[in-house]
Structure 1
Amino acid sequence: MGICGSGKSTIAIEIAKAKHIEMLDADDFHPQSNVDKMSAGIPLTDEDRAGWLEVLNAELRSRLEKGDSVVLACSALKQRYRDALEAGLPGASWLYLKGDRDTILERVGQRKDHFMPTSLVDSQLEALEEPEDAVVVDIRLPIEEIVAKALAEL
């Protein structure tokens, strides 16, 4: 978890490869109305996120019921979002990809294939409630180090 540009998808892909499990990207589950809003530089509200979080939780629970493990790349900015995501999922763990504003702005500004504009970085930082129960990693570390720490501590 972490704000836009923190490397959630990249790190989740690498963890999934290392663990031989499936990786899901929460962005793929947004309804078009959320994507349109973010593309226009409008921050999502809690109401916008509510149905999306329910869908993600149902997807994760479905996988767990089949006996599958999965890694999910998701912003999960607030504690109540994380609570909604992990409801009914014993053993869920969090990796917080923590980054400073300047690093995030640089990364988001360099992306060409994503709907999230740099104008939403500050709103994400304002909404962020840093988790108390997560493995925390500095996003400026090399990808290999982030993945190794995640695999060792999760």
Structure 2
Amino acid sequence: MGRIESVDSSPIAYFVMGICGSGKSTIAIEIAKAKRIEMLDADDFHPQSNVDKMSTGIPLTDDDRAGWLHVLNAELKGKVSKGESVVLACSALKQRYRDALGEGLPDVRWLYLRGDRETILERMGGRKDHFMPTTLVDSQLEALEEPKGALVVDIRLPVDLIVEKAVAEL
């Protein structure tokens, strides 16, 4: 999606988080459309070494994520410094990852897409052309630290209802 001016008076960094298969990209795209802002997918910023590792079913370590989180934060700061709001789809599994992503940003809002293992596995099984195998679902669930202060929605709700709630409450 190209650069689009935000309709917000001050720039906001919106984060759509959850484990793999929770619908982050789908929901973030729809929020971006509704708010007329740019959407970024954190997966697009992974170095090839991270993609290769995940593709073979090996979970990323904190060290693997550190540079990636820094790059994402810098990208968001760049957008916000230009007065642009942006929405980022990112797993953001741990509080320290969320802290790194939001560091130095004046206004951040979090949407947590909460889903159970069975729903996630069903969704992941239907994916095509994605590097994340279903074998990493359990490691993501184990790593997940549920956020405080986020808008929490159940991923079993229809996409339009999730987006409506997010746009109204974020």
TM-score normalised by length of structure 2: 0.90
How many Å apart are 1:152 and its aligned residue?
1.0
CA distance in 1, matches of 2:43, 2:51: 9
Matched, 1:130 2:126: no
Matched, 1:30 2:46: yes
Of 99, 115, 118, which residue of structure 1 is paired with 2:131? 115
How many Å apart are 1:38 and its aligned residue?
0.2
Of 65, 83, 93, which residue of structure 2 is paired with 1:49? 65
Residue in structure 2 matched with residue 68 of structure 1 by the alignment: 84
Moved over 3 A (4+): none
Q: Secondary structure at the match of 1:44?
A: coil
C-alpha deviations, 1:93-114, integer Å up to 9, x for none?
1000000000000101110110
Q: Secondary structure at the match of 1:96?
A: strand
User: Percent identity between the aligned chains?
Assistant: 82
- Residue identity matched to 2:93: L
Q: Could you list the runs of 5+ residues in structure 1 that have no partner in the other structure?
A: none
C-alpha deviations, 1:50-80, integer Å up to 9, x for none?
0000000000000011111100000000000
- Residue identity matched to 2:133: P
C-alpha deviations, 1:85-135, integer Å up to 9, x for none?
000111101000000000000101110110000000000000000001100
Matched, 1:101 2:145: no
- Residue identity matched to 1:21: I
How many residues align? The count is 154
CA distance in 2, matches of 1:83, 1:6: 21
Q: Could you list the runs of 5+ residues in structure 2 that have no partner in the other structure?
A: 1-16
CA distance in 2, matches of 1:54, 1:112: 29
Residue in structure 2 matched with residue 141 of structure 1 by the alignment: 157
Q: Secondary structure at the match of 1:94?
A: strand
- Residue identity matched to 1:140: R
Residue in structure 1 matched with residue 32 of structure 2 by the alignment: 16
CA distance in 2, matches of 1:23, 1:92: 14
CA distance in 2, matches of 1:133, 1:38: 29
CA distance in 2, matches of 1:10, 1:43: 23
CA distance in 2, matches of 1:98, 1:143: 13
Q: Secondary structure at the match of 1:111?
A: coil
